[in-house]
Amino acid sequence: MRILAINPNTTASMTAKIGHAAKAAASPGVEVRAVNPEFGPPSIEGYFDEAFAVPGLLAEITKATDADAFVIACFDDTGLEAARCASVAPVVGIGEAAFHMASLIAEKFSVVTTLARSIAPIERNLIKYGLASRCARVRAANVPVLALEEPGSDARRTIEAEIMRALAEDGAEAIVLGCAGMTDLARGLERSAEVPVLDGVACAVALAEGLVRVGLKTSKRNTYAPPLAKAYVGEFARFSPK
């Protein structure tokens, strides 16, 4: 089995961290690779960055013809629906995966993300996935995504403090980390918080692996059908559906 984890931003150090977490979550014998696009934003912080990250993400999907499943390693589930249109193989977003797994182990969970501008996209996804009632609150630690890659940054301490506020104020029984760049912090934060702390990368790999094992693929009836053939123009001409 081959699972491709795609970091939709172009920061290679974050991709390496995602790859390490993805491989650790996979079963023996499952091959996991982590990649990022050659073009696009270095981080995804809000709707504007997200829009420019999708073409690079789709380029990675379309050229990975040997993948049995894909993981989109951005907590906003950037380009998830478009990626499902581009692939028969299952595509799992780390946000959706973490929400579903949290709902299986806790009555209420809180999400701790990076910047406040990410709160609304996450809340909208929770509504879309039917899990808004299980989320006590979406919180921002006000840590830029790229600060998670800076040696000596106090990002971990800031995130930990926000988790403690979530436990004290929200009634949360589990914490979902709202950024792929936090993947290496999960186990340490879980020890200090003394509640389950979910890393979406690990959750998505586990779900993607399960879908492949039971033989499920992306439905191509209506919603996730391949795009109709047409000629795109300008810079997007090379993405024209055949």
| pLDDT tens, residue order, the chain (242 aa) | 999 999 999 999 999 999 999 999 999 999 999 999 999 999 999 999 999 999 999 999 999 999 999 999 999 999 999 999 999 999 999 999 999 999 999 999 999 999 999 999 999 999 999 999 999 999 999 888 888 888 777 888 999 999 999 999 999 999 999 999 899 999 999 999 999 999 999 999 999 999 999 999 999 999 999 999 999 999 999 999 98
Alpha-carbon separation of residue 110 from 21, 34, 60, 121 (angstroms): 22, 27, 32, 15
**Can you give the pTM of this predicted structure?**
0.94
**Please, what are the domains in the chain?**
2-94+203-239 (3.40.50.12500), 95-199 (3.40.50.12500)
Instruction: Count CB neighbours of 189 within 10 A.
Output: 20
Amino acid found at 165: R
Helix, strand or coil, per DSSP, at residue 215: coil
Angle at 40 between CA 146 and CA 57, to 5 degrees: 105
Buried b (16+ CB within 10 A) or exposed e, 25-36: bbeeebebebbb
Q: How far apart are CA 120 and CA 64, in angstroms?
A: 32
Angle at 97 between CA 114 and CA 62, to 5 degrees: 95
What is the widest separation between alpha-carbon atoms in the chain?
55
Contact 100, 166 (CB under 8 A): no
Helix, strand or coil, per DSSP, at residue 217: coil
Question: What is the rounded end-to-end Cα distance, in angstroms, of the chain?
Answer: 28
Amino acid found at 117: R
